[in-house]
Chains A and B, each alone.
Chain A
């Protein structure tokens, strides 16, 4: 037994308060904590709520859900984009949106059998009936919902491919509608959104 043994470990052991060579300094740690707190605040931020809707249908009945949800989400403080493609583009077409049709063919909830519903002029009849119900109930019109949504900051996007396909012009749409956008824009919006809907 040697008296040296008790001293040997003490030579190698680091002092209690001395940092190891690769340990971050106190200042570095403080900076990292600040960084993480900022990122957390950003992630938790209520202001960043987003909704993305893809509107693909242009019949009178199917034009309502995207517009009602878009304006309501805007009222909740969501940043809303509605990407209109294929027949959904009719909703943004200023003239055609005021004349959207309802079909009774293939809808078993309609009071007329399909064989009758398929007769010429029947879509016009069922559309008139629906328009009267909308007016009698003080349900907002499509035009009102679009104008209101635009005022609330909803971004309506018109699919450029469909504009070209239908041979429409940029001027055909309501003022404030975004044109010149495609699927990649919609996908980016969906990826960023808290709520994504296909209507």
Chain B
């Protein structure tokens, strides 16, 4: 676990498959404030590429980190605007 950022909130989308991890991440980010970091826990292997792609193509968010753990993929998304 990196200490470079503080996690504001955690979203658990374990079990959910495409498109829900991205869709729920977007909804959760909308409720946060600028500078907040959302941790997303997913079991969908496609979430690694999908959340990366979503963050790159979306204004106001930045993918801070991604980790592949024991069956759980962790994504850290910062709201930048």
Contact = CB atoms under 8 A, between A and B. Distances in A.
A interface secondary structure, majority: helix
**Which one of B17, B18, B23 has the greatest number of beta carbons of chain A within 10 Å?**
B23
Nearest to A67: B19
Interface residues of A, number: 17
Interface stretch (A19-27, A118-126, A137-145): A137-145
Contacts of B32: none
A193 interface: no
B58 A77 contact: yes
Interface string A79-120: 000000000000000000000000000000000000000000
A185 interface: no
Contacts of A74: 23, 26
B58 A138 contact: no
A30 B8 CA distance: 47
A139 B16 CA distance: 7
B25 interface: yes
A120 to B, nearest CB: 33
B17 A140 contact: yes
Contact of B58 (A75, A139, A151, A152): A75
12 contacts: A68-B18, A71-B19, A72-B22, A72-B23, A72-B54, A75-B22, A75-B23, A76-B54, A138-B17, A140-B16, A140-B19, A145-B19
A171 interface: no
A99 B23 CA distance: 24
B47 to A, nearest CB: 12
B16 A152 contact: no
Contacts of B23: 71-72, 74-75, 148, 152
